[in-house]
Amino acid sequence: MLIAVLGGDGFCGWPAALHLSDLGHEVVIVDNLVRRRIDEELGAQSLTPIAGIEERLAAWHEVSGQQMRFRDIDLAQDYEGLRSFLDTERPDVVVHFAEQRSAPYSMKSPRHKRYTVDNNTGATHNLLCALVETGLDAHLVHLGTMGVYGYGTAGMAIPEGYLDVQISGDDGAQVDQQILYPTNPGSVYHMTKCMDQQLFAYYAKNDALRITDLHQGIIWGTHTDQTLRDERLINRFDYDGDYGTVLNRFLMQAAVGYPLTVHGTGGQTRAFIHLRDMARCVQIAVENPPARGDRVKIFNQMTQTHRVRDLAELVARISDAEVELVPNPRHEAAENELHVHNETFLDLGLEPTLLEEGLLMEVEDVARRYADRADLDKIPCTSTWTSAQEAGVPASRAALAGAGAPVSTEGRGEATAGDRAGDRAEHPA
């Protein structure tokens, strides 16, 4: 198949593009390279030394014989460029990673909030509009987030996108309905992915576009089989306070002897997935498109749930690092449980990479190897969520945790630990 990978120079986009190319697909990367410019803006570099896009493509050609192509298009700003790209190339599949993906970055200032909304919503809507205008029946696979659901669940597992509800009808009889699970974003970034969901639902209904939305958890890891084949193919490893995700940050912090920065009590429970499972999930989604006229297909793309303080304790155990509880810069529930359905990918053959298997290798191979490139001043999270928070106004606990979710601020350690990879029914945390 001819596959356009939008955002194919980024943390998930690059390894996914390599994986699809390795399978023999013809891959065209579309990217405006803005993530590299944001590195300059923040004065923070990837821990790993990433090559320029042309060098990446040349290296991949050298080691694999596959020729990936690159087009520099800003999807949010250059509708005409995007439309004409789709019209000329006529890809079978469009994988859409081309969004600003950091929650802290999206909360830094009014400029960052507006950029994130304009960029993410603009890119997604331009893409949908251009697919309709060009009459292209390409399968659109979008990288969404588990964060659309909010993280508290009222004693139930989060379904894959849709919720069965019963409401009282006009005549008093119960009416069954299936609705999109109510969104409850925790940052401006996460809010843009909620807005994406509505755009997808509308275009699937109105124009019969074929769309798959992957509700992905937090990525950990850096390598895939492909990125390991040559140092010029190495993937990004973000550790800074804006783009570094929690487990990779802990691994890096352990490698440089920096106390592990647990926000608040560390009672936040989140969904996780290894980078290489992400690439495999994208492949599975590409190979299992919805039919024309189907509703948006939604997969929960996660394999394990973990509580932040449990991750810190695990990393501390294997590395002798210290754990430090720091004030939480975010407006989020201090403690939550998280139960998630993810049967669709497991049924389609995903074999999860377990934290227990990959963790040590990640510490040794990546974090320690490139530790001398670290700038410790970039580690603290300096982006705060609200001015009310700075002024000490308490957060609305119920709203933070999710509609109707009971939130305990006293129940540290009471919830069952969430580490059941491969558990097909659900992943209690």
Catalytic residue (choose from 189, 239, 243, 370): 189
Residue 277 or residue 332: which is nearer to ligand USQ going by CB? 332
Instruction: Specify whether 181 is catalytic.
Output: no
- 3-state helix/strand/coil string of the chain: CEEEEECCCCCCHHHHHHHHHHCCCEEEEECCCHHHHHHHHHCCCCCCCCCCHHHHHHHHHHHHCCCCEEECCCCCCCHHHHHHHHHHHCCCEEEECCCCCCHHHHCCCHHHHHHHHHHHHHHHHHHHHHHHHHCCCCEEEEEEEHHHHCCCCCCCCECCCEEEEEEECCCCCEEEEEEECCCCCCCHHHHHHHHHHHHHHHHHHHHCCEEEEEEECEEECCCCCCHHHCHHHCCCCCCCCCCCCHHHHHHHHHHHCCCEEEECCCECEEEEEEHHHHHHHHHHHHHCCCCCCCCCEEEEECCEEEEHHHHHHHHHHHHCCCEEEECCCCCCCCECCCCECCHHHHHCCCCCCCHHHHHHHHHHHHHHCCHHHCCHHHCCCCCCCCHHHHCCCCCCHHHHHCCCCCCCCCCCCCCCCCCCCCCCCCCCC
Catalytic residue (choose from 145, 153, 224, 261): 145
Residue 245 or residue 303: which is nearer to ligand USQ going by CB? 245
Instruction: Specify whether 105 is catalytic.
Output: no
Least Å distance between CB 330 and ligand USQ? Answer: 5
Residue 10 or residue 81: which is nearer to ligand USQ going by CB? 10
Least Å distance between CB 346 and ligand USQ? Answer: 18
Which residue ranges make up the site for ligand USQ (CB under 6 A)?
A: 101-103, 145-147, 216-218, 245-246, 249, 261-263, 266, 268, 270-271, 308, 328, 330, 332, 381
Least Å distance between CB 52 and ligand USQ? Answer: 23
Residue 127 or residue 381: which is nearer to ligand USQ going by CB? 381
Catalytic residue (choose from 193, 261, 269, 297): 193
Least Å distance between CB 168 and ligand USQ? Answer: 33
Instruction: Specify whether 353 is catalytic.
Output: no
Residue 27 or residue 247: which is nearer to ligand USQ going by CB? 247
Least Å distance between CB 153 and ligand USQ? Answer: 13
Residues labelled as active-site residues: 145, 189, 193
